[in-house]
């Protein structure tokens, strides 16, 4: 399997524990930078005060606590969710190109939300469920289309199915746009994937589902490693592959659906991060899953720093930043598939 | 290295095998641990095995042989519960294997499927450690027992020196030994292998066959393997099963089964069976195609 072809030599000098510690350290630094950098740059002292001795009367501390900290929490959570979903998808389908965005799962969740908004159904509480429904239907449809014909769900076939379904979903969203230009403006930025002005109420609603999805992912991690040896070997080791795939699907749907409700579809985190992580820790998903969470959180937070600062005082949609960085990596991965 | 009884399989406690001395003699007082009864199996509506009866002798190295399409891989896959029977049953310790929890089966029966895809980025030790899967759970994570089983599997297959190498850097024979080590780390009394020597150089083929003979004769495991080379099977296996048209044509010790008549009946080839003066093993020297293939019914 090509997902494994990354040189594992880099694993040696640091070891998995050392690598994990380093990843957490990097995450902490990026998180602090996220709080400190922006339209107004804040001193480390202000940051610390805002975190440990919050005084709402201080405007800079207020910025940290009321604007940047919520945004940071969203970036960390959504980044972790998307990366873990990508790791599960790549592990279960044995497909290095599988990811929530490539296979259309994120867009499926987004389409459900868009359509519901235009039809005027659903509030903050039901939004995640609509997104779950969209993610679930899209996952199943893409997998079925990708499995048609000889050879089953081969990586490129599955990817093409994802592209085709995404195109269909994109046209649904465009149709909604044409029918209701005004209402669409509110959603336009969200559809590009953004962390600007997110609704903390929506985030609070989505959080339990994200936690549940992550918990399931951690619980099935060991079995995914075994499934990576092929269906027959896994069965011989006592893995119940059918049940495992369903659990993985449930986890992916929870993670992607909840993430999309909060920030809109953010691409490439789920594709790229698991590859980065596997290059360091190998194919043992007991390590890949938690470290994908840490690295995904760090990468999305870093992308959000770029989104906020590169055109300051203007802001880019964070999803655009991840796409700019992630698209070349995707091309490189496809090239490796073709060879 | 010396192989001791400490390396007896974990799942064998249920039957309480004692040592390795009884391997030569049959055990008429006990039903064999793995057997097929009136087994029909195949793919979809196609029936590959029809009414097959087989009792796998415990503590022996059994070779499944037969022409292409005779159902030897189907039989192995059905014995290993990878494929379900159309009717009849496979019994493991007297219970239908397809109704046992798959993890419970995995503690008693190890399996190496045909040509598994090697995860190249994984290291040897990591792959072998996967063999401990059925012995672990959420509450029972990696233990010293697992560590010992992996070390032992690496020792038996002589892979210790390569334990930290990525699989992608190994030769075909080394990879196959590594897969076998994974199956051994499972510490099952029964081990089933589907064409373990196919695509390997002659030297590696002999290594693998010798390894399987050692597993049975020194460690008391029961080994069943689908093999292609008749002479290799006759030289290394204790028990040969010749399959033809979805049933067992003949089975028994090579001395009894490996005859020109049986080979002609099963493979449609006339041949002379000779004895190698150096090793004393039986050899088949094919002479000619006996009859048109379509004429065989």
A236/B80 Cβ within 8 A: yes
Residue from A94, A223, A231, A238 to probe the interface with B (highest B Cβ count within 10 Å) = A238
A237/B131 Cβ within 8 A: yes
Q: Are residues B226 and B247 in the same domain?
A: yes
What's the pLDDT at B296? 47
Q: Are residues B114 and B195 in the same domain?
A: yes
- The shortest CB-CB distance from A1 to any of B119, B134, B136 is to B119
Task: Judge whether B136 lies within some domain.
Answer: no
Q: What number is the average pLDDT over the span A270-285?
A: 89
A238/B106 Cβ within 8 A: yes
**pLDDT-based confidence at residue B131 (cuts at 50, 70, 90):** very high
Residues 205-244 of A with CB under 8 A from B: 219, 222-223, 225-226, 228-230, 232-233, 235-240
What's the pLDDT at A238? 93
Query: Comparing A196-200, A225-229, B198-202, B286-290, which segment has the lowest mean pLDDT?
Result: A196-200
Q: Which residue has the higher pLDDT, A4 or A196?
A: A196
Q: Is B187 on the interface with A (CB under 8 A)?
A: no
Output Rg (C-alpha) for chain B, integer angstroms.
19
Residue from B116, B122, B186 to probe the interface with A (highest A Cβ count within 10 Å) = B122
Q: How close B165 comes to chain A (CA, Å)?
A: 9
Q: How many domains does chain B have?
A: 2
Q: How close B96 comes to chain A (CA, Å)?
A: 16
B168/A238 Cβ within 8 A: no
What's the pLDDT at A14? 65
B113/A230 Cβ within 8 A: yes
Query: Comparing A86-95, A183-192, B223-232, B261-270, which segment has the lowest mean pLDDT?
Result: A183-192
Q: Are residues B198 and B295 in the same domain?
A: no
Q: Is B84 on the interface with A (CB under 8 A)?
A: no
**pLDDT-based confidence at residue B107 (cuts at 50, 70, 90):** very high
Q: What number is the average pLDDT over the span A261-268?
A: 88
Per CB-CB distance under 8 Å, the chain B contacts of A226 are 130, 133
Q: Which residue has the higher pLDDT, A60 or A243?
A: A243
- Residue A120 is given by DSSP the state T
Angular region, B268: left φ>0, alpha ψ -120 to 50, beta rest: left
Q: Are residues B268 and B225 in the same domain?
A: no
Per CB-CB distance under 8 Å, the chain A contacts of B122 are 4, 8, 282-283
What's the pLDDT at B124? 94
Q: Kindly tell me the burial class for residue A20, based on how many C-beta atoms sit within 10 Å of its own C-beta (0-12, 13-18, 19 or more).
A: middle
Residue A275: closest C-alpha in chain B:
B121
Residue of B63, B289, B296 whose CA lies nearest to B192: B63
Q: How close A159 comes to chain B (CA, Å)?
A: 21
Residue B74: phi and psi, rounded to 5, are -60, -40
Q: Is B119 on the interface with A (CB under 8 A)?
A: yes
Q: How far apart are CA A326 and CA A323, in angstroms?
A: 5
Q: Is B259 on the interface with A (CB under 8 A)?
A: no
Q: How close B134 comes to chain A (CA, Å)?
A: 6
Residue B162 tokens read as: 């390569």
Q: How many domains does chain A have?
A: 1
Predicted confidence (pLDDT) per residue in A279-321, tens digit: 888 888 999 999 999 999 999 999 999 988 888 778 888 888 9
Q: Is B264 on the interface with A (CB under 8 A)?
A: no
Domain of B209, CATH number, reads 3.40.50.300
Q: How far apart are CA B105 and CA A302, in angstroms?
A: 48
What's the pLDDT at B198? 85
Residue B208 tokens read as: 């693998």
**pLDDT-based confidence at residue A204 (cuts at 50, 70, 90):** confident
Query: Comparing A191-195, A209-213, B1-5, which segment has the lowest mean pLDDT?
Result: B1-5
Q: How far apart are CA B135 and CA B1, in angstroms?
A: 26
**pLDDT-based confidence at residue A103 (cuts at 50, 70, 90):** confident
- The shortest CB-CB distance from A235 to any of B82, B112, B166 is to B82
Q: What is the mean pLDDT of chain B?
A: 86
Task: Judge whether B61 lies within some domain.
Answer: yes
Residue B291 sits in which domain range?
A: 259-297
Is B245's pLDDT higher than 70?
A: yes
**pLDDT-based confidence at residue B22 (cuts at 50, 70, 90):** very low
Q: Is A282 on the interface with B (CB under 8 A)?
A: yes
The percentage of chain A sitting over the pLDDT mark of 90, rounded to a whole number, equals 30
B123/A236 Cβ within 8 A: no
Length of chain A: 339
**pLDDT-based confidence at residue A191 (cuts at 50, 70, 90):** confident
Q: How close B242 comes to chain A (CA, Å)?
A: 25
Q: Which residue has the higher pLDDT, A157 or A12?
A: A157
Is B234's pLDDT higher than 90?
A: yes
Among residues B253, B273, B288, the one where a domain terminates is B253
Per CB-CB distance under 8 Å, the chain B contacts of A240 are 102-103
The percentage of chain A sitting over the pLDDT mark of 70, rounded to a whole number, equals 91
Q: What number is the average pLDDT over the span B177-198?
A: 94
Q: Which residue has the higher pLDDT, B131 or A110?
A: B131
B136/A240 Cβ within 8 A: no
Q: Distances from the Cα of A144 to the Cαs of A123, A133, A158, A164, B207, in angstroms? A: 31, 17, 9, 13, 43
Per CB-CB distance under 8 Å, the chain A contacts of B175 are none
Residue from B124, B129, B133 to probe the interface with A (highest A Cβ count within 10 Å) = B133
Q: Which residue has the higher pLDDT, B26 or A32?
A: A32
Is B16's pLDDT higher than 80?
A: no
What's the pLDDT at A143? 85
**pLDDT-based confidence at residue A2 (cuts at 50, 70, 90):** very low
Q: How far apart are CA B251 and CA B243, in angstroms?
A: 9
Predicted confidence (pLDDT) per residue in B37-78, tens digit: 999 998 878 889 999 999 999 999 999 999 988 889 999 999
For chains A and B, what is the number of CB pairs under 8 angstroms?
A: 84
Q: Are residues B114 and B43 in the same domain?
A: yes
Contacts 24+ apart (CB under 8 A), B43-47: B43/B74, B43/B83, B47/B86, B47/B246
Task: Judge whether B161 lies within some domain.
Answer: no
Is B118's pLDDT higher than 60?
A: yes
Flag whether the ipTM exceeds 0.95: no
Per CB-CB distance under 8 Å, the chain A contacts of B130 are 225-226, 229, 237
Which distant-in-sequence residues (6+ apart) come within 8 Å of B105 by Cβ? A238, B81, B92, B97
What's the pLDDT at A7? 38
Task: Judge whether B241 lies within some domain.
Answer: yes
Domain of A187, CATH number, reads 1.10.3470.10
Q: What number is the average pLDDT over the span A261-267?
A: 88
- DSSP secondary structure string for all residues of A15-42: HHHHHHHHHHHHHHHHHHHHHH-SSS--
- The shortest CB-CB distance from A238 to any of B134, B166, B183 is to B134
Is B153's pLDDT higher than 50?
A: yes
Q: Which residue has the higher pLDDT, B257 or A50?
A: B257
Q: What number is the average pLDDT over the span A69-89?
A: 94
Q: How many CB atoms lie within 10 A of CB B118?
A: 20
SS3 label, residue B162? helix
Task: Judge whether B264 lies within some domain.
Answer: yes
Per CB-CB distance under 8 Å, the chain B contacts of A275 are none
Predicted confidence (pLDDT) per residue in A215-251, tens digit: 999 999 999 999 989 889 999 999 998 899 899 999 9
Q: In this structure, are residues A217 and A92 in contact, taking their beta carbons and an 8 Å threshold?
A: no
Task: Judge whether B58 lies within some domain.
Answer: yes
Q: Is A275 on the interface with B (CB under 8 A)?
A: no
Residue A225 sits in which domain range?
A: 2-338
Residue A7: closest C-alpha in chain B:
B121
Is B295's pLDDT higher than 90?
A: no
Q: How far apart are CA A169 and CA A101, in angstroms?
A: 12
What's the pLDDT at B19? 39
A283/B106 Cβ within 8 A: no
Q: Are residues B231 and B275 in the same domain?
A: no
**pLDDT-based confidence at residue A49 (cuts at 50, 70, 90):** confident
Residue from A224, A236, A237 to probe the interface with B (highest B Cβ count within 10 Å) = A236
In what helix (H) or strand (E) does residue B117 lie, and over which residues does it extend? none
């Amino acid at each position: 399997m090509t997902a494994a072809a990354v040189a594992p030599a880099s694993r040696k000098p640091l070891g998995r524990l050392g690598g994990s510690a380093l990843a957490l350290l990097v995450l902490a630094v990026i998180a602090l930078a996220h709080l400190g950098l922006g339209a107004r740059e804040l001193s480390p002292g202000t940051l610390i005060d805002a975190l440990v001795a919050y005084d709402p009367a201080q405007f800079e501390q207020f910025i940290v606590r009321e604007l940047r900290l919520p945004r940071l929490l969203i970036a960390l959570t959504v980044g972790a969710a998307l990366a873990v979903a990508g790791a599960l998808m790549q592990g279960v389908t044995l497909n290095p190109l599988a990811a929530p965005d490539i296979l259309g799962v994120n867009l499926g969740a987004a389409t459900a939300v868009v359509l519901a908004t235009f039809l005027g159904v659903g509030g903050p509480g039901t939004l995640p469920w609509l997104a779950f429904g969209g993610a679930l239907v899209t996952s199943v449809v893409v997998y079925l289309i990708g499995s048609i014909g000889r050879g089953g769900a081969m990586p490129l076939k599955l990817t093409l199915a994802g592209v085709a379904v995404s195109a269909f979903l994109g046209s649904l969203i465009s149709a909604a746009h044409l029918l209701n230009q005004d209402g669409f403006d509110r959603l336009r930025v969200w559809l590009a994937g953004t962390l600007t002005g997110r609704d903390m109420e929506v985030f609070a609603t989505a959080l339990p589902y994200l936690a549940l999805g992550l918990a399931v992912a951690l619980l099935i991690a060991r079995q995914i490693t075994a499934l990576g040896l092929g269906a027959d070997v896994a069965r011989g080791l006592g893995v119940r592959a059918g049940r495992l795939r369903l659990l993985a699907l449930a986890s992916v749907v929870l993670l992607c659906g909840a993430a999309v409700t909060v920030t809109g579809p953010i691409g490439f985190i789920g594709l790229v991060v698991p590859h980065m992580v596997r290059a360091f820790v190998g194919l043992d998903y007991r390590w890949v899953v938690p470290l994908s969470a840490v690295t995904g959180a760090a990468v999305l937070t870093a992308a959000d720093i770029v989104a906020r600062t590169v055109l300051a005082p203007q802001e880019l949609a964070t999803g655009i930043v991840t796409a700019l960085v992630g698209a070349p990596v995707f091309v490189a991965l496809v090239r490796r598939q073709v060879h | 290295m010396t192989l001791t009884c400490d390396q007896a399989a974990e799942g064998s406690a249920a039957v309480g095998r004692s040592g390795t001395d009884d391997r030569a003699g049959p055990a008429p007082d006990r039903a064999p641990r793995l057997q097929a009864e009136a087994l029909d199996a195949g793919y979809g509506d196609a029936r590959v095995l029809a009414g097959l009866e087989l009792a796998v002798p415990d503590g022996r190295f059994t070779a499944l042989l037969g022409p292409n399409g005779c159902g030897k891989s189907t039989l192995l896959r059905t014995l290993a519960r990878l494929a379900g029977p159309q009717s009849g049953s496979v019994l493991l310790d007297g219970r239908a294997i397809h109704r046992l929890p798959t993890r419970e089966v995995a503690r008693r029966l190890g399996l190496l499927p045909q040509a598994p895809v090697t995860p190249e980025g994984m290291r040897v030790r990591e792959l072998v450690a996967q063999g401990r899967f059925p012995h672990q759970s959420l509450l029972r994570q990696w233990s010293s027992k697992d560590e010992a089983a992996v070390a032992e599997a690496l020792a038996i297959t002589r892979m210790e020196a390569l334990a930290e190498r990525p699989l992608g850097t190994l030769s075909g024979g080394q990879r196959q030994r590594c897969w076998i080590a994974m199956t051994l780390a499972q510490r099952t009394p029964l081990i089933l292998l589907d064409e373990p020597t196919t695509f390997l150089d002659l030297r590696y083929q002999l290594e693998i066959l010798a390894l399987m003979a050692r597993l049975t004769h020194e460690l008391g495991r029961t080994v069943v393997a689908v093999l292609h080379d008749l002479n290799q099977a006759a030289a290394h296996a204790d028990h040969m099963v010749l399959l033809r048209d979805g049933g067992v044509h003949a089975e028994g010790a090579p001395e009894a089964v490996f005859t020109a008549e049986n080979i002609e009946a099963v493979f449609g080839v006339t041949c002379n069976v000779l004895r190698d003066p150096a090793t004393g093993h039986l050899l088949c020297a094919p002479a000619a195609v006996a009859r048109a293939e379509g004429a065989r019914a």
